[in-house]
Chains A and B, each alone.
Chain A
Amino acid sequence: MLKYSLKRLAQSLVTLFIIVTIVFLLMRLMPEEGYFGQAYEKLDEAQREAILAGMGLRDPIHIQLMNFYKSLLSGDLGISNIYRPKVPISEILKAKIPYSLYFGLTAVGISLIFGVSLGIIMARSKSKIWDKLGTGYIVFINAVPAAVYYLFIQLYLTDIFKIPMLFKPDDPASWILPAISMSLGGTASYAMWMRRYMVDELNKDYVRLARAKGLRNKAIMVKHVFRNAFVPMAQYLPSTILYTIAGSIYIESLYSIPGMGGLLVDVIQRQDNTVVQALVLIYSSIGIIGLFLGDILMALFDPRINLHKKGGAR
Chain B
Amino acid sequence: MGNKKINKVADGITENLFEFAEFDESEAQRAGYSNYSYWRSTWQVFIKNRVAFFCLILMIVLVTFTIIQPYLPNQKLPTKIYIDEKTNMQLRNHPPDAEFWFGTNSIGQDLWSRIWSGTRTSLLIGLAVAIWEAVVGIAVGALWGYVRALDRPITEIYNVLDNIPVTIVLILMTYILRPSMTTMIIAMCITGWLAMARFVRNLIVIIRDREYNLASKCLGTPTSRIITKNLLPYLVSVIMLRMALAIPAAIGYEVFLTYIGLGLPVSIPSLGNLINEGRALMMVPSLRYQLIFPAIVLSMITISFYVMGNAFADAADPRNHV
Contacts and interface: CB of A to CB of B under 8 A. Distances in A.
B261 A265 contact: yes
A29 B176 contact: yes
B200 to A, nearest CB: 14
B86 to A, nearest CB: 33
Given A139-B303, A145-B252, A19 B261 contact: no
Contacts of A291: 163
A165 to B, nearest CB: 8
A67 interface: no
Nearest to A165: B283
A234 B160 CA distance: 20
Interface string A129-150: 0000000000110111111100
B255 A148 contact: yes
B103 interface: no
A269 interface: yes
B255 A26 contact: no
Contact of B295 (A29, A148, A287): A148
Interface residues of B, number: 37
Contacts of B197: none
A313 interface: yes
Interface stretch (B113-121, B166-174, B225-233): B166-174
B261 to A, nearest CB: 4
A276 B261 CA distance: 14
A100 to B, nearest CB: 14
Interface string B252-272: 110110011110000000000
A15 B168 CA distance: 16
B202 A313 contact: yes
Given A15-B159, A19-B160, A145 B165 contact: no
Contact of B165 (A146, A151, A283): A283
Contact of A151 (B171, B279, B303, B306): B279
Residue picked from A31, A148, A271, A283, most chain B C-beta under 10 Å: A148
Contact of A265 (B248, B251, B260, B288): B260
A1 interface: no
B282 interface: yes
A277 B301 CA distance: 35
Contacts of B109: none
Interface string A182-210: 00000000000000000000000000000
B101 interface: no
A59 B252 CA distance: 39
Contacts of B275: 147-148, 151
B308 to A, nearest CB: 10
Contact of B299 (A27, A143, A245, A284): A143
Contact of A284 (B163, B202, B259, B303): B163
B261 A31 contact: no
A198 B302 CA distance: 28
Contacts of A23: 172
B65 interface: no
B298 interface: yes
Given A15-B163, A18-B160, A283 B168 contact: yes
Contact of A147 (B178, B259, B288): B259
A155 interface: yes
Given A139-B303, A147-B275, A26 B176 contact: yes
Contacts of A268: 171, 175, 260-262
B292 to A, nearest CB: 9
Contacts of A30: 175-176
Contacts of A220: none
B291 interface: yes
A26 B172 CA distance: 8
B22 to A, nearest CB: 45
Contacts of A265: 259-261
B305 interface: yes
Nearest to B278: A151
Interface string B53-91: 000000000000000000000000000000000000000
16 contacts: A18-B160, A31-B178, A142-B248, A143-B248, A144-B298, A146-B256, A148-B275, A151-B282, A151-B295, A250-B256, A268-B262, A269-B261, A284-B164, A284-B168, A291-B163, A313-B202
Q: Which 3 A-B pairs have the closest CB atoms?
A: A145-B252, A143-B306, A143-B302
Interface of B: 159-160, 163-165, 167-168, 171-172, 175-176, 178, 202, 248, 251-253, 255-256, 259-262, 275, 279, 282, 288, 291, 295, 298-299, 302-303, 305-307, 310
Interface of A: 15, 18-19, 22-23, 26-27, 29-31, 139-140, 142-148, 151-152, 155, 242, 245-246, 249-250, 253, 264-265, 268-269, 271, 276, 280, 283-284, 287-288, 291, 313
